Amino acid sequence: MANDKDSISNLRTESSKTDKRKQSLYFPESMLQEIKEEAARLDRSLSWVVQRAWKISRLEIKKLPSVNEVEGGDDDDDT
């Protein structure tokens, strides 16, 4: 039984290895305020909201052309 427990523990450790180091992300003030408001509404952290937003939108973002594929190559800044 101890081996089963060790195997399950190791499996959890392997499958949940994520990089928990701090990262700095910079948002326009208005966007940050919206994220804060949604986090408060959902009773979640800012990090959780941003991570969910990425998971929801990543397939759409992958459809965007790279800088090298767009004439002019400027960032598309909607703000």
User: Tokens 């392997």 correspond to what residue?
Assistant: 14
Contact status, residue 17 vs residue 28, Cβ threshold 8 Å: no
**Mean pLDDT along residues 50-77:** 84
Tokens standing for 48?
């959780």
Contact status, residue 37 vs residue 49, Cβ threshold 8 Å: no
Residue 26 and residue 6: Cα distance in Å, rounded?
41
Note the pLDDT tens digit of each residue in 15-48. Answer: 456 777 888 999 999 999 999 999 999 999 999 9
Tokens standing for 36?
């804060």
Q: 35: exposed, middle or buried (C-beta count within 10 Å: 0-12, 13-18, 19+)? A: middle
The pLDDT score that the predictor gives to residue 21 is 83
**How much is the pTM?**
0.60
